[in-house]
Amino acid sequence: MNLLATRQGRAVFDIWRADARRALRRLPRHQLHLVRALAPPRGSFPDFLNPPEASQGLAEGVEAVLSTPRRRLGQEMTVLARAPRWLRPLADGEPAALEFLGKALHGYFHAALAPHWPAVRAQVEADRAVRAREMLRGGVDALLSGLGPSLRWRPPVLESAYPFDRDLRLNGRGLLLVPSVFCWQTPITLTDPHLPPVLVYPVARSYRWWLPQQTGPEPRTLARLLGHGRAVVLRALEDGCTTSEVARRVGVTPATASEHVGILREAGLAASVRDRNTVLHVLTPLGASLLTANGCGRQ
C-alpha cells in the first residue's frame, strides 16, 4: 500500500503504479483515504494489517484483520505519526468502522493487486524455490547468506539496512521469512517485538516482472493431451508442493487441485508422499519427461 504513494524503484514499479492508480480512481474516495492513512508512505503502520492468516487468501486475511481485539487496535494505531481524528472509531473497534475497513481492503486489492496477482505469485514461488535449493545445499547459513544485498548474515546475527537502529532478539522463537515483490530495498519487520518474529524481504525481480510468464507451447500441446487444468497442475508440481500450494499457484479451489493431482497420480505422472501431517506431491520420472518432451520442463 505505502509503495504506491512513493517514487521508489521507478523502473520496477512505475507501470504497475500507473495501472493501479487508474483502477483506484474508480473506488470511493473515502476508502482510499482510509487505506492511505493506515499505510503511509513513510513511517510505521499497525501490525494488525499483516496477519499470518493472509497466507491462506484474501478473505482469510481480511477476516483476521477485522477480528483484531479492540485493545490491540487502539494500541497499534498509536504508531501512526499523523493519524487523523476520523480514525478514532476504528481505533475504538466500532463495528461500522471495521466493516468499512473490510470493504476498503477488498476494494484496494481488486483494483491495485488482482490484475497483477499471477505475476506476483510467480515471482514469490520462484524465490521460494531458490531459497529451498539453498537450504538443501548449505543449510541455514546458505539460506541467510543469499537473501540479498540489504541483508548480511554474520553468524549469529542477521544484519539489515533499516531506517533506524533496532535489535530484534529471537530468543529461540524462530524467524518467518516472507518474500515480497513490493518490498523495496529495505526489509520490513513487525513493530511489536513480542509478536512472532517476521522478516519481509524483497525478491529479486526484473523491471518487467508484471508481464505474464511465457508458457511456451503448453497451451497447444500438453493441454490438448491432458486438458488445460491438469496441464497447468502438472507444471505446478515441478518443484513439489502440497495440495493447498497447487491451488494457490494455479488459482483453483483445493478440491479441484486435489482432483487434478489424483488423476495425474493414477496416470503415473505424479506421486504423493506423506511427511507427518503434510502430503507432498511431486512429478514422477514419466511426468518430468512429459514436460520436457513438450518444451515445458526446466531447461
Range in 51-60, 72-81, 91-100, 213-222 the model is least confident about: 213-222
The mean pLDDT of 216-224, rounded to a whole number, is: 57
- Provide the β-strand partners of residue 156: none
- The pLDDT value given to residue 70: 95
- At residue 258, does pLDDT exceed 90? yes
CA–CA gap between residue 232 and residue 249 (Å, rounded): 9
- At residue 296, does pLDDT exceed 80? no
SS3 of residue 64 by DSSP: helix
Residue with the bigger pLDDT between 57 and 206: it is 57
Max mean pLDDT range (135-139, 198-202, 210-214, 266-270): 198-202
User: Mean pLDDT of all residues in the chain?
Assistant: 86
- The pLDDT value given to residue 122: 67
- The pLDDT value given to residue 299: 44
- The pLDDT value given to residue 218: 43
pTM greater than the 0.75 cutoff: no
The mean pLDDT of 131-154, rounded to a whole number, is: 88
What distances in angstroms separate CA 150 from CA 9, 62, 170, one per listed residue? 15, 30, 20
Provide the pLDDT confidence category of residue 213 given band limits of 50, 70 and 90: very low
pLDDT digits (tens, 9 = 90+) for 65-106: 999 999 999 999 999 988 899 999 999 999 999 999 999 999
- Provide the β-strand partners of residue 272: 281
- The pLDDT value given to residue 206: 64
- At residue 262, does pLDDT exceed 80? yes
Share of the chain above pLDDT 90, in %: 46
Q: Phi/psi at 116 (nearest 5 deg)? A: -110, 5
User: Of 34, 31, 43, 35, nearest to 4 (Cα)?
Assistant: 35
Q: Dihedral of the CA atoms 75, 76, 80, 83 (nearest 10)?
A: -60
Provide the pLDDT confidence category of residue 214 given band limits of 50, 70 and 90: very low
- At residue 129, does pLDDT exceed 50? yes
- The pLDDT value given to residue 211: 61
Question: Which residues make Cβ contacts (< 8 Å) with residue 138, sequence separation at least 6?
Answer: 145
